[in-house]
Amino acid sequence: MPADALRIATWNVNSIRTRVGRVVDWLQRGDVDVLAMQETKCSDDQFPTMPFLEAGYEVVHCGFNQWNGVAIASRVGLEDVQVGFDGQPSWSKDGVDAKAEARALAATCAGVQVWSLYIPNGRTLDDPHYQYKLEWLAALRNTADSWLQRDPAAQIALVGDWNIAPTDEDVWDISVFENSTHVSAAERTAFDAFAATRFTDVVRPFTPGPGVYTYWDYTQLAFQKRRGMRIDFILGSPAFAERVVHGEIVKDERRPGKKGDPAPSDHAPVLVDLQR
């Protein structure tokens, strides 16, 4: 990484308490300034803050139980922390605040507003959770558009696990996903709609082509057989995008560790370097 760069990454860690050692180790090896995490799967009082502090990172976390959970770790400051975004839908029909779902968390780090996002899965095409997913994406798009309407020069990064593979080449075999979520026309349209609000995928230009994935299931040796999906993204506002000088999917962090080590997350980190 260039000495004058700012490195921002996102990683679905799939249980931070299980993998905190791996995560903090990579933060230091990877010279990462800001890391957005998803699926921390713990409450705020269970989050393992101390290893991050010992490594020089401040942490903010939003989690309530063993589901979902989002966090941001930064060694360049954490300001203006926000839990949830305006208009964020809630899955609960019992009046539970959408923020309690722990799917969206923001902080300003070195002048960049970083949103750690864990977009709903959708489950199946005929499940009510699928409509909830589309509503969630539409609400995020509308709110993000309003941010740029107010300040076109705002530096904003929408990062995380989007649970969408935007093109056929973003899955290992599109025929396997016929009539499935993640690749449906409505989900892809919802993802593409962010480009109309001027948020663009800033990593793909540096990682083009088929077979470039960010997620591999644990079953049936999916990683070893290269059966993956590209579902983790960094979408940047125009002012953010123009600063990007490098993008990368750190596939090696998905590889199994030494015997006895905790299993890796089923996702790989995704990062960008920004010119300061």
Cα–Cα distance measured from residue 61 to residue 85, given in angstroms and rounded to the nearest whole number: 15
Three-class DSSP category at 245 = strand
Q: For the chain, what is the largest distance between any 2 Cα atoms, rounded to a whole number of angstroms?
A: 52
Binding site annotation covers 163? yes
Nearest CA to 161 out of 193, 126, 133 is that of: 133
Set 57, 182, 213, 267: catalytic member: 267
Q: Tokens at residue 139, please?
A: 């609400």
Instruction: Supply the DSSP string of 238-274, one letter for each residue.
Output: HHHHTTEEEEEE-GGGGS--STTSPPPPSB--EEEEE
Set 33, 57, 161, 232: catalytic member: 161
Binding site annotation covers 161? yes
In sequence order, the β-bridge partners of residue 233 are 160
Verify whether residue 118 is a known catalytic residue. Answer: yes
Are residues 10 and 270 in contact, defined by beta-carbon separation less than 8 angstroms? yes
Q: How do strand 270-275 and strand 5-12 relate by DSSP bridges? A: antiparallel
Cα–Cα distance measured from residue 43 to residue 67, given in angstroms and rounded to the nearest whole number: 9
Give me Rg for the CA atoms of the chain: 17
CB atoms within 10 A of CB 181: 21
Set 33, 61, 118, 170: catalytic member: 118
Say which residues have a Cβ less than 8 Å from residue 57's Cβ, sequence separation at least 6: 24, 27, 35, 73, 74, 75
Verify whether residue 170 is a known catalytic residue. Answer: no
Cα–Cα distance measured from residue 96 to residue 103, given in angstroms and rounded to the nearest whole number: 14
Cα–Cα distance measured from residue 228 to residue 51, given in angstroms and rounded to the nearest whole number: 31
H/E element holding 144? helix 128-150
Are residues 271 and 247 in contact, defined by beta-carbon separation less than 8 angstroms? yes
Annotated binding site: 12, 39, 161, 163, 266-267
Which residues are annotated as catalytic? 118, 161, 267
Q: Which residues are annotated as part of the binding site for Mg(2+)? A: 12, 39, 161, 163, 266-267
